[in-house]
């Protein structure tokens, strides 16, 4: 059965269009990043994402559609590469007039509207650094991130502005807030904010800042087990990774209409919602609205989407909604579909085949790697449930606890990647110690390892299989949540003495955030207190981060040194063996 559908899938892909990488092994053997560099247009050694994604296509093919935008209300707008160039060049001069210098950080708390993309490329063109925020964050994660990277400007929308207003007093580095008015005519409050349209009206087009390979471009905050989020910091030279993986993993071709469903507040929404398609000069669909099974298929039909990049949580929701829905639409334009962000179960891979005749190709990467590292490719048979094989030009491996590569097949270990590669993060912003801790020497003398924090195994044919996280970070609907951030907010509530936060398995979102609390003297557990704590956490953290469930315990299991044993909380929650409890504090 497996072979049959692998063959069908391969044949279908082959029928619709020959892939950019017809032979995986051949490209892996001959791959060189210098060849990729030569395909990009790097004028006088200048490397700038805005040039690679916008200007060079505007110069060659100005009238080509770069963006098809569909608003939540169904209205459609299209923008050419020349439109993108002009608007981003104007925004770069707006930033210059606001005194934003090269290397300064501009934060974005935005929904998906065309102006967001103009402003992002305007910021990159200015040589300033973009820092995306997730629009479902509450005030605490927003303030924490702005302060960590000392943001000087925030770009937001009228609907999201109240979240910025709420943290204005505790984000002293922010000099201006620019509000992009919405299509209903709403603007930001005068005096407190600057209006995007007014600023842009008279703005001249700014030239491109001559940034180089190692200049900062993007900071994406990501969560860890301990401490507050880390600012994974990337450079303009990362575009080599976006471009090459867009070409060979996503198989982007000139006639494609590409759709990435990821939110621009997370790394997939920038690396693959903006940089990969546009560095390949491909038309990209941007949909302002959120998930809806029927609407999503209607979008594919209406805009003749050919290449689709989505996530397992969305696929599971589509599966739940049933096969009748996709069958109502003409999805014949699709030629290639992919998934990222969480493990994609084999059922999800096969479901694509049933729903529209194409399997989902899973691939793996993370904020720190900047671009896809392991993937299933059009030219290789999919192994359902596997993340695929290494991208040519990068060298992931399975390592043991001494950082030695495990060469035997099917042995579980830490997933690591040999350094360097072009899109690798170059820092955790202002946190050298945590950055350094992610790199280890190979005892056998090979290039150093970057430690991903995931566990995996590799089979005898070189396919990688995800096993789980090697830390306590929670993956809820493809978004990472750090338990420490949630625990810190819970213990600020007067009733809470201690808090421990875990990811509880969930059939749709993979994991949901679950908290355990122990109460201070004088407080009694009740449903009302549970609701109050959930409300407290939602108000502070936002619905994307706050716990969905909270239970109360007499006390939380701790090590003798006083650290809450989240692993034990999880094992007890799931009824699993408790493992090594020798460090558990005696009652």
Q: Which stretch binds ligand AMP (CB under 6 A): 57-65, 148-156, 358-366, 518-526?
A: 358-366
Evaluate whether 545 touches 486 at the Cβ level (below 8 Å).
yes
By CB under 6 A, how many residues form the interface with ligand AMP? 20
- Tokens 């269009």 locate to 17
Q: Cβ 364 to ligand AMP, closest distance in Å? A: 4
* Per-residue mark of binding to ligand AMP, 380-399 (x: CB under 6 A): -------x------------
Q: How far apart are the first and last CA of the chain?
A: 54
Q: Is 481 in the site for ligand AMP (CB under 6 A)?
A: no
Selected from 267, 305, 425, 474, the binder of ligand AMP by CB under 6 A is 267
Selected from 108, 466, 484, 516, the binder of ligand AMP by CB under 6 A is 466
Evaluate whether 31 touches 103 at the Cβ level (below 8 Å).
no
Q: What is the SS3 string spanning 209-257?
A: CCCCCCCEEEEEEECCCCCCCEEEEEEHHHHHHHHHHHHHCCCCCCCCE
Q: Is 341 in the site for ligand AMP (CB under 6 A)?
A: yes
Q: Is 245 in the site for ligand AMP (CB under 6 A)?
A: no
Residues 281-310 that bind ligand AMP (CB under 6 A): none
Q: How far apart are CA 368 and CA 233, in angstroms?
A: 8
Q: Is residue 321 within a helix (H) or strand (E), and if so which, with residue range?
A: helix 312-321
Q: Which two tokens stand for residue 303?
A: 């805009």
Selected from 187, 469, 538, 572, the binder of ligand AMP by CB under 6 A is 469
Q: How far apart are CA 362 and CA 342, in angstroms?
A: 9
Q: Cβ 217 to ligand AMP, closest distance in Å? A: 17
Distances (CA, A) of 55 to 25, 47, 169, 373: 34, 12, 38, 27
Q: Which stretch binds ligand AMP (CB under 6 A): 29-37, 364-372, 531-539, 541-549?
A: 364-372
Q: How far apart are CA 110 and CA 134, in angstroms?
A: 8
Q: What is the CA radius of gyration of the chain?
A: 24
Q: Cβ 552 to ligand AMP, closest distance in Å? A: 30
Evaluate whether 476 touches 512 at the Cβ level (below 8 Å).
yes
Cα–Cα nearest to 204, from 103, 92, 123, 295:
92
Q: Is 277 in the site for ligand AMP (CB under 6 A)?
A: no
Q: Which stretch binds ligand AMP (CB under 6 A): 16-24, 449-457, 485-493, 522-530?
A: 449-457
CB nearer to ligand AMP: give 171 or 363: 363
CB nearer to ligand AMP: give 157 or 222: 222
Selected from 206, 262, 480, 550, the binder of ligand AMP by CB under 6 A is 480
Q: Which stretch binds ligand AMP (CB under 6 A): 145-153, 169-177, 295-303, 339-347?
A: 339-347
Evaluate whether 252 touches 277 at the Cβ level (below 8 Å).
yes
Q: How far apart are CA 318 and CA 349, in angstroms?
A: 12
Q: Cβ 430 to ligand AMP, closest distance in Å? A: 19
DSSP bridge pairs for 457: 465
CB nearer to ligand AMP: give 388 or 393: 388
Q: Cβ 174 to ligand AMP, closest distance in Å? A: 25
CB nearer to ligand AMP: give 24 or 221: 221
**Overall residue count recorded for the chain in this entry:** 587
CB nearer to ligand AMP: give 470 or 585: 470
Q: How far apart are CA 293 and CA 306, in angstroms?
A: 18
Q: Is 511 in the site for ligand AMP (CB under 6 A)?
A: no
Distances (CA, A) of 134 to 83, 468, 532: 26, 24, 24
* Per-residue mark of binding to ligand AMP, 200-229 (x: CB under 6 A): ----------------------x-------
CB nearer to ligand AMP: give 211 or 452: 452
Q: Is 509 in the site for ligand AMP (CB under 6 A)?
A: no
Q: Is 367 in the site for ligand AMP (CB under 6 A)?
A: yes
Interface residues with ligand AMP (CB under 6 A) are 222, 266-267, 340-343, 362-364, 366-367, 387, 452-454, 466, 469, 475, 480
């Amino acid at each position: 059965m497996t072979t049959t559908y692998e063959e069908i899938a391969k044949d279908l892909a082959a029928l619709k269009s020959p892939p950019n990488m017809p032979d995986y092994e051949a490209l892996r053997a001959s791959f060189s990043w210098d060849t990729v560099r030569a395909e990009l247009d790097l004028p006088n050694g200048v490397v700038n994402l805005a040039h690679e994604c916008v200007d060079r296509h505007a110069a060659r093919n100005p009238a080509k559609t770069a963006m098809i935008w569909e608003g939540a209300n169904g209205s459609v707008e299209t923008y050419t590469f020349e439109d993108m160039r002009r608007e981003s060049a104007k925004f770069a001069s707006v930033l210059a007039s606001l005194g934003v210098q090269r290397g300064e950080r501009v934060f974005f708390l935005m929904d998906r509207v065309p102006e967001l993309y103009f402003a992002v490329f305007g910021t990159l063109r200015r040589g300033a650094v973009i820092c995306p925020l997730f629009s479902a964050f509450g005030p605490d994660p927003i303030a924490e991130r702005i302060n960590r990277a000392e943001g000087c400007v925030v770009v937001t929308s009228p609907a999201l502005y109240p979240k910025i207003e709420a943290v204005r007093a505790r984000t002293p580095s922010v000099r201006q807030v620019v509000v992009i008015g919405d299509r209903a005519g709403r603007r930001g409050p005068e005096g407190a904010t600057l209006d995007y349209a007014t600023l842009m009206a008279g703005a001249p087009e700014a030239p491109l800042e001559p940034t180089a390979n190692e200049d900062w471009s993007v900071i994406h905050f990501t969560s860890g087990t301990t401490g507050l989020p880390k600012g994974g910091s990337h450079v303009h030279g990362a575009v080599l990774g976006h471009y090459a993986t867009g070409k060979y993993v996503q198989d982007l071709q000139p006639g494609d209409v590409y759709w990435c469903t990821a939110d621009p507040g997370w790394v997939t929404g920038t690396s693959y919602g903006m940089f990969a398609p546009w560095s390949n000069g491909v038309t990209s669909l941007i949909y302002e609205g959120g998930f809806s099974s029927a609407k999503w298929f209607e979008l594919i039909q209406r805009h003749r989407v050919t290449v689709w990049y989505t996530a397992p949580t969305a696929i599971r929701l589509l599966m739940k909604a049933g096969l009748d829905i996709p069958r109502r639409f003409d999805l014949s334009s699709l030629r290639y579909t992919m998934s990222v962000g969480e493990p994609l179960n084999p059922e999800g891979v096969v479901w694509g085949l049933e729903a529209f005749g194409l399997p989902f190709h899973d691939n793996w990467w993370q904020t720190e790697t900047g671009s896809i590292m392991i993937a299933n490719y059009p030219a290789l048979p999919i192994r359902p449930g596997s993340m695929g094989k290494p991208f040519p030009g990068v060298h992931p491996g399975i390592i043991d606890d001494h950082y030695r590569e495990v060469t035997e097949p099917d042995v579980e270990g830490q997933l690591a990647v040999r350094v360097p590669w072009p899109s690798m993060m170059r820092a955790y912003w202002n946190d050298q110690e945590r950055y350094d801790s992610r790199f280890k020497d190979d005892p056998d003398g090979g290039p150093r390892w970057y430690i991903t924090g995931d566990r995996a195994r590799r089979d005898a044919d070189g396919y990688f299989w995800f096993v789980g996280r090697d830390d306590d970070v929670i993956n809820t609907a493809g978004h990472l949540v750090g338990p420490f951030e949630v625990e810190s907010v819970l213990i600020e509530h007067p009733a809470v003495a201690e808090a421990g936060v875990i990811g509880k398995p969930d059939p749709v979102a993979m994991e949901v955030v679950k908290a355990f609390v122990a109460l201070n003297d004088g407080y009694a557990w009740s449903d009302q207190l549970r609701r109050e704590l959930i409300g407290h956490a939602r108000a502070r953290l936002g619905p994307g981060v706050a716990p969905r469930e909270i239970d109360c315990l007499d006390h939380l299991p701790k090590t003798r040194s006083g650290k809450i044993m989240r692993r034990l909380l999880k094992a007890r929650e799931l009824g699993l063996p408790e493992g090594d409890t020798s460090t558990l504090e005696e009652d």
